[in-house]
Structure 1
């Protein structure tokens, strides 16, 4: 339920609810989300608020949008499994242009990279949206 008096912005609260629907499977890959107008009515907010909500979910890689069409739930990307030793440290940051090229991250796409450090030494750099880490 949306709390208009809460510290957390309303558009983020709505994003939380829609994210829960997606992650629970209530909305699956390929399913269309209700229209911006429908969601605005459902939550009692303006369409600008819902548009901000959609922007959050799109940046998170949960939905796709094309102007003039309903937003849809995207299929989760396959992730490479990388085994790291216990005690490894992870540093998340935005990539440099050279790292974008090296890791195949398209310009304009917002994807942090994860730098794995073991014993103070760098062990690898990975695009966060396509990597699943496990401990060896």
Structure 2
């Protein structure tokens, strides 16, 4: 439930609710989210609030919006677990155009890359949305 006056922006609260429905499987991969007007009415918020919440989910890679079609939940890909030695430096940055092509990051998508440096040795880049870093 969205609660005004809690100190947390309404669009963040709506994004949290939709994210929970997506990650729990209540809204399945491939399914369309309800249209913006319906979400605004159901949650008693404005259209700009709904649009900002959907933008948050797009940035997180949970949904894609196709003009004239709607906003669809994407299939979540399995994360690759990467062991990182204690002395490593982890660098997170935006990819170059060549790295976007290599890693399959669509133009305009906000997907950082991760590099792991151990001394002079470089590992990566990896898509940040598809890796899990671990020291264990």
Compute the TM-score of the two structures, normalised by the length of structure 2.
0.80
The residue that corresponds to 1:27 in the other structure is 27
The residue that corresponds to 1:116 in the other structure is 116
| Greater CA drift, 37-46 or 120-129 | 120-129
C-alpha deviation, 1:120, in angstroms: 7.3
The within-5 A match list for 1:9-88 is 9-86=9-86, 88=88
**Distance in structure 1 (CA, Å) of the matches to 2:11 and 2:107:** 27
**Distance in structure 2 (CA, Å) of the matches to 1:31 and 1:18:** 13
1:128 aligns with 2:92: no
C-alpha deviation, 1:135, in angstroms: 4.4
Computed over aligned residues only, the root mean square deviation of the Cα atoms, in angstroms, reads 2.4
**Distance in structure 2 (CA, Å) of the matches to 1:14 and 1:120:** 45
C-alpha deviation, 1:3, in angstroms: 2.4
Q: Which residues of structure 2 form unaligned runs of 5+? A: none
Compute the TM-score of the two structures, normalised by the length of structure 1.
0.80
The residue that corresponds to 2:5 in the other structure is 5
Residues 88-125 of structure 1, C-alpha deviations (whole Å, 9 max, x = no match):
44222222344434544333221101121335754332
Describe the SS at the equivalent of 2:18: helix
| Greater CA drift, 89-98 or 52-61 | 89-98
Describe the SS at the equivalent of 1:72: strand
- Alignment length, in residue pairs? 136
